[in-house]
């Protein structure tokens, strides 16, 4: 403990790269751990705010910041995954294709509505006392922050991915007054800090009985959401709710619900490819795609063989989730939900999980080593395994330059002047040029690109 007591958040800020904190991705851990309220969230900027007068230099924030340090060796040694092993997924029990057994939940979900279904199932079966998910901030409804939710209706209304920075781990603070068990939906980076805390016996983290990960290629700064608002000529004040996977047919798109009752938005891929411009720096340096330390991880499934299944009248499939049951507890939960017909599961091999996102496997799990090599400020990773041979060195080298220069103010300004699909056009063709074979996602992209861009 003596080691940690000498730090305060200013020391941490230096490690995070100075005042702009490029290694902070607003996971919320420091806020959730600060015993005196010296750290509070500034949601819009995606950074914590520090009040030095309240800081007791306990060092908790410093010690648990996943932005500056992740000990993968320790996480691997302490994590109790299943007996199967895959070089990207690491230890796991079983992979599935899945969708909710409830059709409206499936249709409203990001992929198969599987996360919502399991959260509802856990509440109904009283396996947990509440679930922790993002909810709109009451006074600024275009921003999200974590909440403990205990009613099924709110869980159902909160489905879909939020592709923006949400300090999920700030909830650790609220858990201190709560008894019971909780399920949390979190991103891989947030789970690194949660598992470290659980390993140390942190009482609040130990209340998190089920950890559900959203597989994560990258997140986006709120600037991307604001970009979308500007493109459809609305302001933050007009917005009463945001859905990131709703506008148009599945896979949906960024949809703004307005005070005047209207809906405006942009399609999925036009929003999605803004990642090259609004990617938080720390996400660029993250090596965990599959949420390797969760109980269950969830992602989109984009398999060619699913294109003929679950089609609706427009020829667009209803979503399917890829699911990885990591721990025994996660597997038991899935099997119980399947037995009660809450969820539909089909066993698959890891190869079909990887097939949905060949680009992300290459970018996140190989390209990371190239990006780390050239990063000026980088997190300290202990025990991060490197593949024997790196995939597409040149591509990742060039793409890294695009990501760094894309986030400049000048590029963001220029992009605003260009047609909405300019960025999509660039990235899509760059990927083609580098030899990525189109998959089901690219076929749907063709349809999605043309559908409902603006109204």
Selected range binding ligand FAD among 1-9, 17-25, 211-219, 263-271, rule: CB under 6 A: 211-219
For 151, half-sphere exposure in the C-beta direction (CA atoms, 13 angstrom radius) is: 3
> Closest residue (Cβ) to ligand FAD?
299
Residue 325 as a binder of ligand FAD (CB under 6 A): the answer is no
Shortest gap between Cβ of 221 and ligand FAD (angstroms)?
A: 11
Find residue 345's DSSP bridge partners: 98
Residues of span 354-373 touching ligand FAD by CB under 6 A: 356-357, 360
Report the residue from 25, 93, 94, 111 that binds ligand FAD according to the rule CB under 6 A.
111
Residue 17 as a binder of ligand FAD (CB under 6 A): the answer is no
Residue 8 or 147: the one with the smaller Cβ distance to ligand FAD is 147
Angle CA 328–330–336, to nearest 5: 100
Of the candidates 312, 297, 396, 303, the one whose C-alpha atom is nearest the C-alpha of residue 352 is: 303
Residue 89 as a binder of ligand FAD (CB under 6 A): the answer is no
Residue 168 as a binder of ligand FAD (CB under 6 A): the answer is yes
Report the residue from 67, 167, 217, 406 that binds ligand FAD according to the rule CB under 6 A.
217
Site string for ligand FAD, 273-312 (x = CB under 6 A): -------------------------xxx------------
Residue 215 as a binder of ligand FAD (CB under 6 A): the answer is yes
Asked if 286 and 297 touch (Cβ cutoff 8 Å), the reply is no
- The pair of structure tokens assigned to 418 is 């260009």
Residue 385, classified by CB atoms within 10 Å of its CB into exposed (0-12), middle (13-18) or buried (19+), is: exposed
Residue 115 as a binder of ligand FAD (CB under 6 A): the answer is yes
Shortest gap between Cβ of 208 and ligand FAD (angstroms)?
A: 13
Residue 114 as a binder of ligand FAD (CB under 6 A): the answer is yes
For 50, half-sphere exposure in the C-beta direction (CA atoms, 13 angstrom radius) is: 16
- The pair of structure tokens assigned to 31 is 């806020």
Residue 25 as a binder of ligand FAD (CB under 6 A): the answer is no
Report the residue from 29, 160, 204, 407 that binds ligand FAD according to the rule CB under 6 A.
160
Q: How would you list the strands of the sheet with 253-258, edge to edge?
A: 239-243, 253-258, 263-267
67 contact partners, CB below 8 Å, separation of at least 6: 16, 21, 23, 24, 25, 27, 189, 282, 379
**What is d(CA 204, CA 173) in angstroms, rounded to the nearest whole number?**
8
Shortest gap between Cβ of 322 and ligand FAD (angstroms)?
A: 6
List residues near ligand FAD by CB under 6 A: 109-116, 119, 133-134, 158-163, 166, 168, 185-187, 214-217, 219, 298-300, 319, 321, 356-357, 360
């Amino acid at each position: 403990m003596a080691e940690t007591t000498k730090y305060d958040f200013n020391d941490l800020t230096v490690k995070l790269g100075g005042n702009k904190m490029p290694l902070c991705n607003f996971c919320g851990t420091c806020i959730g751990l600060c015993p005196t309220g010296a750290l509070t969230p500034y949601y819009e900027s995606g950074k914590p705010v520090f009040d030095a007068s309240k800081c007791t230099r306990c060092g908790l924030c410093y010690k648990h910041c996943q932005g500056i340090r992740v000990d993968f060796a320790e996480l691997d040694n302490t994590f109790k995954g299943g007996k199967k092993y895959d070089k990207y997924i690491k230890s796991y029990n079983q992979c599935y294709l899945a969708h909710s057994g409830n059709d409206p939940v499936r249709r409203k979900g990001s992929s198969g509505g599987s996360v919502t279904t399991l959260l509802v199932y856990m509440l109904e079966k009283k396996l947990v006392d509440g679930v922790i998910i993002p909810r709109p901030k009451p006074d600024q409804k275009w921003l999200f922050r974590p909440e403990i939710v205990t009613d099924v209706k709110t869980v159902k209304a909160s489905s879909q991915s939020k592709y923006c920075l949400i300090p999920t781990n700030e909830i650790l603070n609220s858990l201190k007054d709560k008894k019971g068990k909780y399920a949390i939906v979190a991103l891989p980076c947030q789970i690194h800090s949660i598992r470290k805390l659980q390993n140390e016996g942190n009482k609040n983290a130990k209340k998190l009985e089920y950890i559900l990960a959203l597989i994560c290629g990258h997140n986006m700064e709120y600037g991307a959401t604001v970009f979308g608002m500007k493109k459809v000529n609305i302001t933050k004040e007009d917005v009463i709710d945001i859905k990131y996977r709703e506008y148009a047919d599945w896979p949906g798109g960024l949809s703004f619900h307005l005070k005047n009752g209207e809906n405006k938005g942009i399609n999925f891929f036009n929003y999605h490819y803004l990642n090259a411009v609004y990617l938080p720096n720390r996400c660029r340096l993250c090596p965990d795609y599959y949420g390797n330390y969760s109980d269950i991880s969830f992602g989109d499934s984009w398999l060619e063989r699913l294109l003929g299944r679950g089609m609706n009248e427009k020829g667009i499939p209803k979503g399917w989730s890829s699911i990885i049951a990591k721990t025994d507890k996660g597997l038991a939960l899935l099997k119980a939900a399947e037995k009660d017909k809450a969820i539909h599961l089909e066993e698959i091999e890891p190869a079909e999980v990887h097939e949905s996102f060949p680009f992300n496997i290459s970018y996140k799990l190989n390209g990371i080593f190239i990006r780390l090599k050239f990063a000026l400020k980088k997190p300290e990773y202990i025990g991060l395994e490197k593949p024997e041979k790196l995939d597409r060195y040149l591509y990742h080298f060039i793409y890294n330059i695009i990501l760094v220069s894309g986030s400049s103010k000048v590029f963001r300004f220029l992009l605003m002047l260009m047609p909405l699909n300019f960025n999509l056009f660039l990235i899509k063709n760059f990927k083609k040029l580098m030899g990525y074979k189109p998959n089901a996602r690219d076929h749907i992209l063709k349809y999605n690109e043309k559908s409902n861009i603006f109204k």
